[in-house]
C-alpha cells in the first residue's frame, strides 16, 4: 500500500532540486524533438536560402540545342553554368525576368559559332625593325597598359628574337612572339577609331592592311599553340591568355 508523500516535510534544498527536475521534465515533454537545433546540426533560414540559391540550375544552361550530338565547336560541358548565369538566379533579379529568359547559355554560343578557319601554310610576312617597333609599342599602349601581363624584360627578349629572325622550330617563346605581334597589329587597326568620325580612303586602307597582317600572325601562332599545352609556366599561361 502506497502512502502519499507530503512535500512540505522535505528540506528546502531537496524541494528546490525536485521542482527543478519536474520543470525540466515538463519542458522536454512540451518541446518536440524536431524543433531542437544546435550549432552543429541546425541551420538558420538564411543559410538554407543561400544553399538553395547556389543549388539552382539555370534554365539557360540546359541542353536546348537543335543537334545534341554536335560537339564539334563546343569547348564547355553541356551542364556548365557560368558565374553570370548563377548570379542571375539571385532573388535580387526577380524583377528583371527578361535577363533570364532572353539570354543564351555559354554552351549554346560556343556550340553554334562557326569553326575558326586557319590557312594551310601561312607565310611569314616581311617586316623591318621599324615595323616591329611600332607593333610592339602599340601592344604596350593598348594591351599591356590595361592588362599588365608582360614585363619590359620579356618585351626586350621578344624584340630581340623578332629582329634576329623568327626561329623555325615550334616553341612557346615563338608562339608568344607571334601573339604579341598579332595583338599589336590589331591595336594599330583599331587605335583612335573613337576619335575619327569618317576616315579617308588612305586611313581605311592602312587599318585594313594592319588587320590582315594581324590575322596572319594569329594564324601562325595557332600553328604553334599545341606546344603551349605541353608546358606549364608563365609563358604558356600568357599564350593562352593572349589567344583568348
Kindly state whether residues 101 and 63 are assigned to the same domain.
yes
Same domain assignment for residues 211 and 139:
yes
- Please report whether residue 237 resides in a domain: yes
> Among candidates 174, 173, 189, which has minimal Cα distance to 135?
189
pLDDT digits (tens, 9 = 90+) for 10-60: 555 545 455 555 555 555 555 544 444 444 444 454 544 444 444 444 444
Angle at alpha carbon of residue 124, lines to 118 and 129, rounded to 5°: 135
Q: Which of 135, 131, 128 is nearest to 179 (CA)?
A: 135
Give domain status of residue 9, yes or no: no
Examine the domain organization and report whether 137 and 232 are in the same domain. yes
Looking at 112, 139, 160, the residue that finishes a domain is 112
Containing domain of residue 72, as a range? 45-112
In angstroms, the CA 128 to CA 139 distance is 17
62 and 97 in a common domain: yes
Same domain membership, residue 91 and residue 141: no
Q: How confident is the model at residue 202 (pLDDT cuts 50, 70, 90)?
A: confident
142 and 238 in a common domain: yes
Distance between CA 167 and CA 169 in Å, rounded?
6
If asked whether residues 149 and 49 sit together in one domain, one would say no
Would the pLDDT of 161 be above 60?
yes
Tens digits of per-residue pLDDT, 209-241?
999 999 999 999 998 999 999 999 999 999 999
| Number of compact structural domains in the chain | 2
Q: How far apart are CA 119 and CA 223, in angstroms?
A: 9
Examine the domain organization and report whether 105 and 68 are in the same domain: yes
107 in the same domain as 144: no
Cα dihedral across residues 228, 229, 233, 236: positive or negative: positive
Amino acid at each position: 500500500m502506497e502512502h502519499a508523500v507530503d512535500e512540505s516535510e522535505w528540506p528546502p534544498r531537496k524541494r528546490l532540486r525536485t521542482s527543478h527536475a519536474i520543470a525540466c521534465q515538463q519542458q522536454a515533454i512540451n518541446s518536440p524533438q524536431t524543433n531542437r537545433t544546435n550549432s552543429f546540426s541546425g541551420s538558420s533560414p538564411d543559410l538554407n536560402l543561400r544553399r538553395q540559391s547556389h543549388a539552382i540550375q539555370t534554365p539557360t544552361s540546359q541542353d536546348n540545342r537543335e543537334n545534341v550530338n554536335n560537339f564539334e565547336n563546343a569547348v564547355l560541358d553541356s551542364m556548365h553554368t557560368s558565374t553570370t548565369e548563377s548570379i542571375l538566379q539571385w532573388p535580387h533579379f526577380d524583377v528583371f525576368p527578361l535577363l533570364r529568359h532572353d539570354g543564351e547559355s555559354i554552351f549554346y554560343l560556343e556550340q553554334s559559332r562557326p569553326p575558326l578557319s586557319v590557312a594551310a601554310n601561312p607565310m611569314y610576312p616581311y617586316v623591318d625593325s621599324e615595323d616591329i617597333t611600332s607593333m610592339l609599342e602599340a601592344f604596350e599602349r593598348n594591351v599591356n597598359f590595361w592588362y599588365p601581363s608582360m614585363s619590359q624584360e620579356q618585351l626586350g627578349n621578344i624584340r630581340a628574337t623578332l629582329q634576329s629572325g623568327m626561329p623555325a622550330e615550334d616553341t612557346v617563346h615563338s608562339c608568344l612572339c607571334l601573339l604579341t605581334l598579332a595583338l599589336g597589329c590589331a591595336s594599330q587597326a583599331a587605335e583612335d577609331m573613337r576619335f575619327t568620325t569618317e576616315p579617308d580612303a588612305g586611313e581605311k586602307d592602312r587599318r585594313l592592311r594592319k588587320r590582315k597582317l594581324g590575322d596572319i600572325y594569329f594564324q601562325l601562332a595557332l600553328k604553334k599553340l599545341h606546344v603551349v599545352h605541353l608546358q606549364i609556366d608563365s609563358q604558356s599561361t600568357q599564350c593562352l591568355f593572349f589567344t583568348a
